[in-house]
């Protein structure tokens, strides 16, 4: 059955020393509190701290992901980081299509699809973010928007490839705003995404894919969100910057 996943997206936060402290804090927490065997913990720091984080991860029970990857294979793309580089650092995961990348860096569903292809080609698992903005929710367009993001970003994949993907539903109006989706709102869209997956790839595969919730998820609301049948964990921003909160969320299943 599908895994529970809690992934920490640090975004553009932490100096080198702060990152070191945060990882040590996570390791200390993990020594004190044992995570259930079916819960996977993923830490996604900024690029410069990936090496340090993977070094620590080798001694502990968490996996490491990047926050972004190039849609190109290699070559003259100044400032970009390729999937091949991430593969050579033995990373496990990479976030793709986060709403901040869509909003501030012009990422489209097409770019998301190309990045997903690069990651899969190099053996990394994409964590693909989808979600509507406030105006779309107010116009009751959330289903249509999420459908288009899922179809255009992912539905070119074969069933074999799709099995490697994690989806994160992140309503944009809930990200960093303190406004969490209600457990009912989260379940409704998660169930909808699983229905789309069932229609395209069949029930067996759809049941295997982890769908995470993201958007102001914290220790005080994680339990009621994760209690829903189709919510398999969380993509955590702000609360992943405090080791104690991050691990408390991971213990909320």
Question: Catalytic amino acids?
Answer: 98, 170
99-to-15, 95, 168, 227 alpha-carbon distances in Å: 23, 11, 11, 25
Residue 135, number of CB atoms within 10 A of its CB: 10
Q: Which residue among 159, 176, 199, 227 contacts ligand PGA (CB under 6 A)?
A: 176
Find the Cα–Cα–Cα–Cα dihedral 30, 35, 12, 137, rounded to 10°: -160
Scanning the structure block, which residue is given the tokens 């944009």?
A: 172
Q: Does 175 bind ligand PGA (CB under 6 A)?
A: yes
Query: What residues form DSSP beta bridges with 233?
Result: 5
- How many residues touch ligand PGA under the rule CB under 6 A: the total is 13
**Nearest-approach distance from CB 160 to ligand PGA, in angstroms:** 27
Single out the segment in contact with ligand PGA by CB under 6 A; choices: 15-23, 120-128, 138-146, 229-237.
229-237
In the complex, minimum distance from the CB of residue 246 to ligand PGA, in angstroms, rounded to a whole number:
10
Q: What is the DSSP letter of 81?
A: -
Instruction: Lay out the site mask for ligand PGA across 59-98 (x = CB under 6 A, - = otherwise).
Output: ----------------------------------------
Minimum distance from residue 200 beta carbon to ligand PGA (Å): 25
For residues 233, 3, 46 and 115, what is the CA-based torsion angle, rounded to 10 degrees?
Answer: -100
SS3 210: coil
Nearby residues of 224 by Cβ (< 8 Å), 6 or more positions away: 183
Return the number of the residue (67 or 70) whose C-beta is nearest ligand PGA. 67
Whole-number Cα distances in Å, 231 to 107, 120, 186: 26, 24, 7
Mask for 193-222, x = binds ligand PGA (CB under 6 A):
---------------------xxxx-----
Site string for ligand PGA, 95-134 (x = CB under 6 A): ----------------------------------------
Which one of 83, 209, 236, 250 is in contact with ligand PGA (CB under 6 A)?
Answer: 236
| Closest by Cα among 4, 25, 91 to 54 | 91
| Total count of residues recorded for the chain | 253
Q: Closest residue (Cβ) to ligand PGA?
A: 237
Give the range of 36-44, 63-71, 105-113, 169-177 binding ligand PGA by CB under 6 A: 169-177
216 to each of 89, 170, 177, 226, how far by Cα in Å?
30, 9, 7, 13
Sole window of 106-114, 133-141, 196-204, 230-238 interacting with ligand PGA (rule: CB under 6 A):
230-238
Among 238, 247, 248, 252, binds ligand PGA (CB under 6 A): 238
Using CB under 6 A, list all residues that contact ligand PGA: 9, 170, 175-176, 214-217, 235-239
């Amino acid at each position: 059955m599908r895994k529970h996943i809690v992934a920490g997206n640090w975004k553009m936060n932490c100096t080198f020393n702060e990152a070191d402290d945060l990882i040590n804090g996570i390791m200390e927490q993990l020594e004190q509190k044992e995570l259930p065997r079916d819960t996977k913990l993923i830490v996604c720091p900024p690029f410069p701290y990936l090496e340090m984080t993977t070094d620590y991860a080798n001694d502990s029970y968490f996996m490491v992901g990047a926050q972004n990857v190039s849609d190109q294979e290699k070559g003259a793309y100044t400032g970009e980081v390729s999937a091949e580089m991430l593969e050579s650092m033995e990373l496990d995961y990479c976030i793709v299509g986060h709403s901040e990348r869509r909003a501030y860096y012009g990422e489209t569903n097409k770019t998301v699809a190309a990045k997903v292809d690069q990651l899969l080609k190099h053996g990394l698992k994409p964590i693909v973010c989808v979600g509507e903005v406030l105006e779309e929710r107010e116009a009751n367009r959330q289903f249509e928007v999420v459908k288009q993001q899922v179809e255009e970003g992912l539905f070119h994949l074969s069933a074999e490839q799709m099995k490697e993907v994690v989806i994160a539903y992140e309503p944009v109006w809930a990200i960093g705003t303190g406004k969490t989706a209600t457990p009912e709102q989260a379940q409704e869209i998660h169930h909808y995404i699983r229905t789309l997956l069932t229609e395209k790839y069949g029930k067996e595969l759809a049941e295997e894919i982890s769908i995470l919730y993201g958007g102001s998820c914290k220790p005080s609301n994680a339990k009621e969100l994760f209690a829903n049948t189709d919510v398999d964990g969380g993509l955590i921003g702000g609360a992943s910057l405090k080791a104690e909160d991050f691990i408390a969320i991971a213990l909320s299943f």
